Chains A and B, each alone.
Chain A
């Protein structure tokens, strides 16, 4: 494979040579970059190492295209074709979607176009708000009820209601499918270690291959429209549920399971009556993740026919109506916050309550009855006073002109200052890193990654990471891949440098935390397109704008995991340190940060994942990386090209994930936290 991998293999187990080896290798790498003579000499000696020869390329792209063609056109399952099979799935999914959509957004309609007759109106806005408030009150109390009510009121007051209900109805259908599917897969993985092992790589791919890569075959198989986008959403949002289910079922204490056995439970009863209820709180965390990830997909789903808020964001920004785009984007954020807080509150509700509920259904009745009453009253009221049925248009607010004006004002007054910052960063950080990565010969990179893998996790990890990185070369995506590594690497670095201090500050001051939390929630759910377009206006098309978008999104896990890591440091240790006379600063640097390091590293890991998942979005502002490759493949309907580029993204992600995961694991063992 390469000379460096050979060295790694030749020196097992002895630990002392490691630092020396790394110093020599990295020194050689930099020498190669700075000394053009050496670079040229090497390139003359082994040109294949710098430009992967065309003859060695594995035509995976054509194979994938051919396979997809066969799958779509010729694959016959006997009684019916594969396409008929997938089409019937999507036909089945149409019904619940149509029902939810009619109930929330459109009303039940008979006929089409001008001849359409409204049979039954949609739920009134007041009824939906009332139900949301009741759910908040039931799950936690008045504070949550008020928050949820305010979120939904925003949608009505800012004229986002109908679009938001379209989005909500697709979420309301996609989430149960994701949750139930994830639960069943998770149970299968829990019961059989072999199933779990087989599923692990598939789950990784589901989360890391950009959706644009498989959009075209999905459209052929599942048809054009909301259902295809829902299926794409489910594919993307299910993996955390599967993972959480396996984890949650494992964490059920043995005593509870033994108790079930003693009571004479069958295997099935043991699972459904004992394990799953006991794991409810952890399972709800999975549900929460499914909801949040589904909302992340809203924009992409709207490109293939889902409509709703995502569509409003896209059309507004296409007109460069930044304010309107922002308002629709905030609509997605408030929807996300309401659903997030509600599902978290349901997760946190003590399980005893559950038993009481199932014992006496009456206890749940007041809420159900109140919800139904609200729907009925507003429906009847709507017949008399239309404002009760639909929020009157004359009362809607908009702040759009303010935001448009603000961006223009910044543009006119501060463009030159911003330009100076941008030019400085570009010339001194981004362009050198890019040039550095692009000059490295691929065998050297494969070797370095394998070496890191070997040191952190042994031979297996070395083989895995080397194979994944080699894939980038053999599919002739090397240059695109290095551009990707450069953009995501620089962005992840900057996101971490911003995220760590904020995380530390917030972890130590509750007041700061109270401000930081809603900000990072917003950054996570606000569609990137909303801030991408103003960023283009202020920083022009190019890598810098892409970097800003990536940093804004990827900074969230850096902050979140830092807070988590510091807050999880056992209070006894801090008390001990205080008793020894440590100052606050010493406690931070000597106790909290070292102990939080594994979590912070996991945060870095997630930061890289988030950065990679933004690639396709940054292609929209003209980057020239794997994201652009996927995007071009989409526009040319070239399935093979898209999937190969998508796999390259996934493999970079998995390589980073495994290496950092192994590192974090080692640190944990060393610190005695594992």
Chain B
């Protein structure tokens, strides 16, 4: 709660004059605040807060601004916003490439986390459909996953249309007896998973990680033929000679993006952001503490910062 207040109330600080340049550990090039964007999922808040605190430790001034994941590019290009810490290959690649092409934003490198996105089912489904996690078992169990609207086909709950992911193509290429139903938002997607999990009812859906759901709900990924670039580009690859997408989804990068002008304004900060690295396991543990154990986000971040000083000071040197 405190974070968004601070973010929303930045204007309050503006009212009282310009930023105060205090004593700094490093010589900072500009005391103007670096505006980092906050989105609406915990993992992103954590990465941003960790980076923000590291930058503050270097002597930079940091402001957090609440911004929509994709709409933020308007702000990053114009310099209203400066740094976005998590841009996922699978959901944001198109928007990011379009933005980089304008020359007004720069790619600040990967975060080290790997986005895993795949068809997922709760573990109790394995009893009813013992062939899982192999994808070829899906057709045998299709009716298990059916609802009145989709019967006799199974119902696969995909991500929002805007996420891409090629699930409609995948179903066709692999000849799966499933109908893809797109959830409109992340929240709707996980609400349905939660509902099914509570009732121990059949469900198969698009889940991704790092996220709290696969930590809280026990389940497995469907094993499709492993992704290769040829699979997406070349129809002749794989089990279906006439269609691409006859494989699983790629493990995607998660990148940082920044306003191009910041490169000149805060070169030291941008260097540190480029160095930022964290792995899925660490992030998963931090997300778990916030979302499932209900701890305060800032407290969790501060605790991690205190215990891992060597890790983050290495970015800033």
**Measured between alpha carbons, how far is A619 from B66 in the docked complex, in Å?**
22
Q: Is A107 an interface residue (CB 8 A)?
A: yes
Residue of B nearest to A622 (CB): B184
Cα separation A315 to B40 with both chains bound (whole Å): 6
- The answer, among A113, A224, A225, A408, for a CB contact under 8 Å with B61, is A113
Q: Which residues of B contact A315 (CB under 8 A)?
A: 4, 40
- Complex alpha-carbon distance, A649 and B137, angstroms: 44
Smallest CB separation, B197 vs chain A (Å): 10
B154 to chain A, nearest CB (A): 14
Q: Does B198 contact A (CB under 8 A)?
A: yes
Q: Are B74 and A628 in touch, CB under 8 angstroms?
A: no
Q: Is the CB of A111 within 8 A of B199?
A: no
Collect the chain A residues with CB atoms within 8 Å of residue B116's CB. Answer: none
Q: Which of B19, B147, B198 contacts A411 (CB 8 A)?
A: B198
Q: What is the number of residues of chain A that contact chain B, defined by CB distance less than 8 Å?
A: 78
Q: Are A628 and B212 in contact (CB under 8 A)?
A: no
Residue pair B188, A533 in contact (C-beta under 8 Å): yes
Closest to B14 in A: A98
| Shortest CB distance A114–B (Å) | 6
CA distance A154 to B148 in the complex (A): 44
With contacts A109-B12, A320-B191 taken as known, whether A224 is within 8 angstroms of B81 at the C-beta atoms is yes
Is the beta-carbon distance between B17 and A622 smaller than 8 angstroms?
A: no
- Are A635 and B162 in contact, CB atoms less than 8 angstroms apart? yes
Instruction: Say whether B68 faces chain A, with CB atoms less than 8 Å apart.
Output: yes
CA distance A637 to B191 in the complex (A): 27
**Interface status of B7 (Cβ within 8 A of chain A):** yes
Q: Which residues of A contact B22 (CB under 8 A)?
A: 111, 115
A223-B75, A620-B185, A622-B182 known; A304+B19 contact, CB < 8 A:
no
* A299-316 with Cβ < 8 A to chain B: 302-308, 311-312, 314-315
Taken residue by residue from 175 to 202, chain B's Cβ proximity to chain A (1 for < 8 Å, 0 otherwise) reads as 0000001111111111110110011010
A residues in contact with B98, CB < 8 Å: 637
List, in ascending order, chain B residues with CB within 8 A of A628's CB. Answer: 161, 184
Residues of B within 8 A of A116 (CB): 13
Contacts of B20 in A (CB 8 A): 110-112, 115
Q: Of A249-257, A363-371, A474-482, A534-542, which binds chain B? A: A534-542
Residue of B5, B63, B74, B212 near A105 (CB, 8 A) is: B5
- B13-36 CB mask vs A (1 if < 8 Å, else 0) is 111110110100000000001000
Contact with B along A196-228 (1 / 0, CB 8 A): 000000000000000000011001100111100
Q: Looking at the complex, which one of B95, B157, B184, B201 makes contact with A620 (CB distance below 8 Å)?
A: B184
Contact of B41 with A by CB under 8 A = yes
Beta-carbon contact of A312 and B9 below 8 Å: no
Do B40 and A307 have beta carbons less than 8 Å apart?
no
Q: Which single residue of chain B is at the shortest CB-CB distance from A103? A: B12
For residue B192, which residues in chain A have a CB less than 8 angstroms away from its CB?
A: 536-537, 540-541
> Taking CB as reference atom, which chain A residue is nearest B147?
A540
Q: How far in angstroms is the closest Cβ of chain A from B50?
A: 15
Given A304-B67, A411-B198, does the pair A220, B78 have CB atoms closer than 8 Å?
yes
A634–B184 touching, CB < 8 Å:
no
B153 to chain A, nearest CB (A): 15
Of B62, B190, B201, the contact of A113 (CB 8 Å cutoff): B62
Answer whether residue B152 sits at the interface, using C-beta atoms and an 8 A cutoff: no
Q: Distance in Å from the Cβ of B90 to the closest Cβ of chain A? A: 13
In chain A, residues 90-124, which have Cβ atoms closer than 8 Å to a Cβ of chain B?
94-95, 97-99, 101-102, 105-116, 119
Query: Which B residues touch A427, using CB under 8 A?
Result: 148
Contact B5 A163 (CB under 8 A): yes
Interface flag for B138 (CB, 8 Å): no
Residues of A within 8 A of B42 (CB): 319
Q: Which residue of chain B has the shortest Cβ distance to A97 in the bound complex?
A: B11
B160 in the interface (beta carbon within 8 A): yes
Given the interface pairs A224-B67, A305-B66, A622-B181, the reply to whether A111 lies near B161 with Cβ below 8 Å is no
| Structural contact, B162 and A632, CB atoms closer than 8 A | yes
Judge if A317 is at the interface, Cβ distance under 8 Å.
yes
Whether, in the assembled complex, A63 has its beta carbon less than 8 Å from a beta carbon of chain B, the answer is: no
Contact of B181 among A223, A541, A632 (CB under 8 A): A541
B14 touching A94 by the CB < 8 A rule? yes
Would A308 and B188 count as touching, CB distance under 8 A? Answer: no
Asked if B12 and A637 make an inter-chain contact with CB atoms under 8 angstroms apart, the answer reads: no
Q: Mark A629-643, 1 if CB is under 8 A from B, else 0.
A: 001101111000000
User: A289 an interface residue at 8 Å Cβ cutoff?
Assistant: no
Please report which residues of chain A, range 615-666, place their CB below 8 angstroms from some CB of chain B when the two chains form the complex: 618-624, 628, 631-632, 634-637
User: Which B residues lie within 8 Å of A618 (CB)?
Assistant: 184
Task: Report A-chain residues with C-beta under 8 Å of the C-beta of B188.
Answer: 532-533, 536, 541, 620-622
A572 to B66, CA, bound (A): 58
B1 near A163 (CB under 8 angstroms)?
yes
Q: Are B33 and A112 in contact (CB under 8 A)?
A: yes
Contacts of A631 in B (CB 8 A): 162, 184
Chain A residue contacts of B8, Cβ below 8 A: 101, 105, 166, 226, 305-308, 311
Contacts of B78 in A (CB 8 A): 220, 223-224
Evaluate contact between A541 and B189: CB separation under 8 angstroms: yes
A56 in the interface (beta carbon within 8 A): no
Number of residues of chain B lying within 8 A (CB) of chain A = 68
Partner of B191, one of A115, A305, A536: A536
Q: Does A517 contact B (CB under 8 A)?
A: no
Q: Find out whether the CB atom of B194 lies under 8 angstroms from the CB atom of A632.
A: no
A510 within 8 A of B: no
Chain B's closest residue to A108 (CB) is B16
* A22 close to chain B: CB less than 8 A: no
Decide yes or no whether B291 CB sits under 8 A from chain A: yes
Q: Which residue of A lies closest to B149 (CB)?
A: A426
- The reply on A318 being an interface residue by CB < 8 A is yes
User: Is A88 in the interface zone, CB < 8 Å from B?
Assistant: no
Taking CB atoms, residues of chain B closer than 8 Å to A534 are 191
**Cα separation A632 to B95 with both chains bound (whole Å):** 12
- Smallest beta-carbon distance B35→chain A, Å: 8
Check: A81 CB closer than 8 A to any chain B CB: no
Point out which of B74, B147, B189 has the most chain A C-beta atoms below 10 A from its C-beta.
B74
Contact present for B161 and A102 (CB under 8 Å): no
- The verdict on B316 contacting chain A, using a C-beta distance below 8 Å, is no
The residues of B that contact A384 with a CB separation of less than 8 Å are none
Contacting pair A542 B12 (CB below 8 A): no
A220-B74, A621-B188 as given contacts; A101 in contact with B9, CB under 8 Å: yes
In the complex formed, the residue of B with least CB distance to A222 is B80
**Interface pair A411/B195, CB less than 8 Å apart:** yes
Residues of A within 8 A of B75 (CB): 219, 223-225
A112 CB contacts on chain B under 8 angstroms: 13, 19-20, 33, 61-63
A412 in contact (CB, < 8 A): yes
Is B46 in contact with chain A by the CB < 8 A criterion? no
Nearest CB in chain B: distance from A217 CB, A: 8
Interchain CA distance A319-B15 in the complex, whole Å = 34
Q: Smallest Cβ distance from B253 to chain A, in angstroms?
A: 19
- Per-residue interface assignment for chain A, residues 271 to 304, with 1 indicating a CB less than 8 Å from any chain B CB and 0 otherwise: 0000000000000000000000000000000111
Q: Smallest CB-CB separation from A122: which chain B residue? A: B12
Q: Counting CB contacts under 8 A, is A423 at the interface?
A: yes
8 Å CB contact of A102 from B12, B19, B67, B185: B12
Report if B73 contacts A (CB, 8 A): yes
Write the chain B residue with the least CB distance to A424: B148
Q: Is the CB of A219 within 8 A of B195?
A: no
Q: A116-B13, A538-B195 are in contact. List 12 more A-B contacts (CB 8 A).
A: A98-B11, A102-B16, A108-B12, A111-B16, A113-B61, A307-B4, A311-B66, A423-B149, A537-B195, A541-B183, A620-B188, A636-B95
Can you spell out 21 A-B residue pairs with CB atoms less than 8 angstroms apart? A101-B15, A102-B9, A105-B5, A109-B12, A112-B63, A113-B56, A162-B1, A219-B74, A225-B10, A307-B8, A308-B8, A312-B1, A319-B42, A411-B199, A412-B199, A533-B191, A536-B195, A541-B188, A542-B181, A621-B183, A621-B184
Q: Which residues in A have some Cβ–Cβ distance to B below 8 Å?
A: 94-95, 97-99, 101-102, 105-116, 119, 162-163, 166, 215-216, 219-220, 223-226, 302-308, 311-312, 314-315, 317-320, 408, 411-412, 415, 419, 423, 426-427, 529, 532-534, 536-538, 540-542, 618-624, 628, 631-632, 634-637
